[in-house]
Every structure is written in structure tokens, then in C-alpha cells.
Amino acid sequence: MTKKLAIYLTNTDRSGWDKPYADYAVMTAQLLAPLLPAYSIELFDAVMGELPTVPEDYDGVVLTGSIANVTEQEPWMAELYKHIRRLDKAKVKLVGICFGHQAIAHALGGEVGPQVPQVGIEAVTMVQAPDWMQPRQSQVSLLCGNFQQVLSLPEGFQVLGTQGACAIPFYAKGEHILGCQYHPEFSTDYMHLYTDYVADKLGPECTDQARSQLQGHHDGALVGQWIANFVLA
């Protein structure tokens, strides 16, 4: 029997500044589909309220990143938070990337807030190594574009990795929730375009730093494998 993975698109920016790149749900599907050949992947637009009626029918759910912030409540987010709480209660595999990572923490009682922006590539030191974290690697570098972070975790969550300017870049709850602040699904080329897009928010110094970082290596493929392993575990 084919298993089912749902990917919820949460990005609110539909202005087209990032054409010709795919939206974040498609990027995430492109990352995970080759690693989960036994899964049927379905895409849902959370911003437009197009979500599965029974999210518990899925074997896994992934929440994408977004330009939106959980600290700036928008009407569509209320239903997303309901789904997060339902999926947690049912112990359905739930993965959050960037905004998704923050939304899970927020919906289940954690704290999210503005922090110094991180745009470019950041290195995360893994402080725990669950069985699904294969191949093992004690430090991973990932593309990032975030202006807010998870500041405190809900009850029952554990920190999996740390980074100098981001206390909670990876977390887990039991065997069914995984959060990653950074972006394994992005490409370096996309991040160059994103950096140009947010340059006015960053200022010249941070923009130059981001562009310099983007010359380096990132472990998006490895972390994509970790996410697939987590879904399968």
C-alpha cells in the first residue's frame, strides 16, 4: 500500500519576484521525492485554506518556509495551528522547515520572536544523533534566510543542534516531530536571488557577508536524507 506525504505551502508572497524558481512546496517535493520512492506526495496551499480534511490520513506532513512571521498573526494561520495540534496528538510524522519549524513550536506552546537576521550559510553543531540521522555528521552547513527564531521549546521537545547565533536550529519531539530552522531544499542560485530581494532589510554589510558565505559548501542533500530517514523511521 502506497504511503502518503503531504506538503503544506505556507509562503504568502505570490508576487513573482523569484521566478523562474518553483514555490517552496515544489522545492521540498523535489528534495524528498527521490528519497521516498514508496510515498505519494501531495501538495496543499495552507495560505489559501486548501488543506486535507483529515490530516491524520497522511503518513507524514511537511510544513514549508514562508515570508510570513508567526508573530504577525494572519487568518490562515489559525487552521494551520489546528492541524499541527491534531498531527501531534495523532503522532503523525511532522516536519517543519524555517517558518514551519517556528509554527510547530508556536502552536504547541513554545516561543518565537525576532532575532538578528541570518542570510547565507550557517554551520550547525549536532548535539544529539538519533538513529535516523544517517550518514552521521557532527556539523552541517545549511542555506538560511530567517529574521525570526524559536526562542523556547514546548514541553517534551529536545534540541538536536546548536549554532552560535541561533540556539535552536534543530529540534525533535519523540519520534514524530522534527524542526529545522534552515533550508535544505534551497539551491545556492536561489539564495543569491533571495539575498538580493532582502538586501534593503539586511543593509550593505550583512548583504556582503551573505554573498560571501554563499561561495561555500552546504549540506542540503545530507539533511534532506536525514528528513527522509526521519519520515521512514
| CATH code assigned at 33 | 3.40.50.880
Write the pLDDT tens digit of every residue in 64-74. Answer: 999 999 999 99
Domain membership of residue 212 (yes or no) is: no
86 is written with which cell numbers? Answer: 491534531
pLDDT tier for residue 131 given thresholds of 50, 70 and 90: very high
Q: Give, in degrees to the nearest 5, the angle at Cα 184 between 181 and 186.
A: 105
For residue 100, the Cα-to-chain-centroid distance in whole angstroms is: 5
Domain membership of residue 224 (yes or no) is: yes
- Whether pLDDT at 14 is above 90: yes
The whole domain housing 88 covers: 3-113+149-185+219-232
- Whether pLDDT at 228 is above 90: yes
Domain membership of residue 138 (yes or no) is: no
- The total domain count for the chain is 1
Domain membership of residue 123 (yes or no) is: no
pLDDT tier for residue 126 given thresholds of 50, 70 and 90: very high
Domain membership of residue 204 (yes or no) is: no
Closest CA to 180 of 227, 134, 147, 133: 227
* % of the chain residues with pLDDT over 70: 100
CB burial readout 143-176, b (16+ within 10 A) else e = bbbbebbbeebbeebebbbebeebebbbbbbeeb
Q: What is the chain's mean pLDDT, rounded? A: 97
Write the pLDDT tens digit of every residue in 82-115. Answer: 999 999 999 999 999 999 999 999 999 999 999 9
Write the pLDDT tens digit of every residue in 147-175. Answer: 999 999 999 999 999 999 999 999 999 99
Domain membership of residue 79 (yes or no) is: yes
Domain membership of residue 207 (yes or no) is: no
Strands in 33-137 per DSSP E? 39-45, 60-63, 93-97, 111-126
43 is written with which cell numbers? Answer: 501538495
- Whether pLDDT at 48 is above 90: yes
Domain membership of residue 55 (yes or no) is: yes
At residue 1, the pLDDT reads 80
